[in-house]
Structure 1
Amino acid sequence: MQTRDVIDHYRAEPGYWFVPKLFGIGATPVTWQGWALTIGFAALLVADIRFVHERIAQIAIGVALFAVFTGIAVRRTKGGWSWRWGIRG
């Protein structure tokens, strides 16, 4: 794998906030919008854990936050999410 291939992989294209991970499943934020979404998700999850004291409500809110975050991230990832084994050339 060439360094240039990795650099090109992490270049954001208009309309996309994330790029797929090189190995495995998931995505990496590459724009300020992607980072803002990721940090906002983490902050809301911490607030949920800290301020919601009923365990069932805490879990429900956490699952809902995760579902919304993942749904947005999948739609804003170039090429979608699937298992990857590096850059194929």
Structure 2
Amino acid sequence: MSNDRSKPWFAPKRYGYGAGLPITWQGWALTVGYVLIFIGVINFSEQDKPGSNFMSVVGMSVFVVATIAYILICAAKTKGGWRWRWGGKP
């Protein structure tokens, strides 16, 4: 049985720095989960009462933490890691 823990979830970008599209179901699940958190934060923040920004602050905090976690996981699970690429073989 292969070691799925070391299998990359994202393809590298052909040009630039960072990750490209997900290449496994885990990568797609992570991306969909991140988008759902974003939508949830928007809906949660819209419930704020006039004159109060508590839910907006909580929502923004959740979004910042989710974004940091998403970036760190993407960086760790990208095939070949994150580095600058000029269009050759990924």
Partner in structure 1 of residue 66 of structure 2:
65
Partner in structure 2 of residue 6 of structure 1:
none
Please list every run of 5 or more consecutive structure 1 residues that lacks an aligned counterpart in the other structure. Answer: 1-13
Partner in structure 1 of residue 12 of structure 2:
20
How many residue pairs get aligned? The number is 75
TM-superposition CA deviations, 1:35-63 (whole Å, max 9, x none): 11101100111101111342222221111
Question: Aligned with 2:58: secondary structure?
Answer: helix
Please list every run of 5 or more consecutive structure 2 residues that lacks an aligned counterpart in the other structure. Answer: 1-5, 49-54
Supply the AA of the counterpart residue of 1:32.
W
Supply the AA of the counterpart residue of 1:38.
T
Question: Aligned with 2:88: secondary structure?
Answer: coil
Which of structures 1 and 2 has the bigger CA Rg? 2
TM-score, L = length of structure 2: 0.74
Q: Which moved more, 1:79-88 or 1:57-66?
A: 79-88
TM-score, L = length of structure 1: 0.74
Partner in structure 2 of residue 33 of structure 1:
26
1:63 and 1:29 mapped to 2: Cα distance?
Answer: 21
Matched, 1:76 2:68: no
Question: Aligned with 1:78: secondary structure?
Answer: coil
